[in-house]
Amino acid sequence: MGAMQILFLLAAAAVLGAAILVVTSRNLVHAALWLIVALFGVAVVYVLLNAGFFAIVQVVIYIGAIAILFIFAVMLTRQIGGKDGGSQNHSTWWVAALLSLLLMVGIVWILSTWQGFATELPALANEKELISELGKSLVSTYLLPFELASVLLVAALIGAIYVSWEKSR
């Protein structure tokens, strides 16, 4: 077992453990913090896949912006007086568990028709070139989606401000 494999297994264990804790933990702040651990683990896996750019973007966007927004939202929606108690799950939790088990079986069934699982990843040419290729294709082939994404972001942020604006009555 090479160092890469050990590193991958550690990162995967961290991601899955943190994800389970996000779903199960009763304290919402803890859930948000475990979400950060899971997202960081995914960033480590991106590094192992030689996608350094996305590892950085993952840390900056997901951890730096999205997870912090989550923590803010958790703190803004805390019920005063510690009414966080009581069941956090639906009463029909076993239906949910059954459904997600079915989903897992479905995914495994679809994937089982594919033969290439043992394929080793090919050697990479030049990572620096990859990033510049990415940048070039964003402003040539994918120019329209790129611009639309920026319009979407502006619209979403204006919408968020409008929605959460406290109207003075």
Partner 1 sequence: MVPIGYYIGLSAILFTIGALGVLIRRNAIVIFMSVELMLNSANLVFVAFSRLYNELNGQIFVFFVMTVAAAEVAVGLALMVTIFRAKHSIDVDQMSSLKG
Q: Please, which of residues 46-75 interact with partner 1 by CB under 8 A?
A: 46, 48-51, 53-54, 57-58, 61-62, 65-66, 69-70, 72-74
Neighbouring residues of 59: CB distance < 8 A, sequence distance ≥ 6: 39, 40, 43
Q: CA-CA distance, 87 to 39, in Å (whole number)? A: 27
Please give the structure tokens belonging to residue 69: 């927004």
Interface with partner 1 includes 157 (CB under 8 A)?
A: yes
Binding test (CB under 8 A) with partner 1, winner from 10, 107, 139, 143: 107
Interface with partner 1 includes 31 (CB under 8 A)?
A: yes
Interface with partner 1 includes 163 (CB under 8 A)?
A: yes
Interface with partner 1 includes 145 (CB under 8 A)?
A: yes
Give how far the C-alpha of residue 28 lies from the chain's centroid of Cα atoms, to the nearest Å. 17
Q: CA-CA distance, 62 to 68, in Å (whole number)? A: 9
Query: Least CB distance from residue 166 to partner 1, whole Å?
Result: 8
81 — phi, psi (to 5°)?
90, 15
Size, binding site for partner 1 by CB under 8 A? 83
Binding test (CB under 8 A) with partner 1, winner from 10, 56, 88, 143: 88
**Binding residues among 4-23 for partner 1 as defined by CB under 8 A:** 4-5, 8, 12, 15-16, 19-20, 22-23
CB atoms within 10 A of CB 108: 9
Binding test (CB under 8 A) with partner 1, winner from 10, 37, 63, 104: 104
Amino acid identity at 148: L
Q: CA-CA distance, 152 to 85, in Å (whole number)? A: 38
Interface with partner 1 includes 119 (CB under 8 A)?
A: yes
Query: Least CB distance from residue 141 to partner 1, whole Å?
Result: 8
Q: CA-CA distance, 64 to 36, in Å (whole number)? A: 9
Interface with partner 1 includes 42 (CB under 8 A)?
A: yes
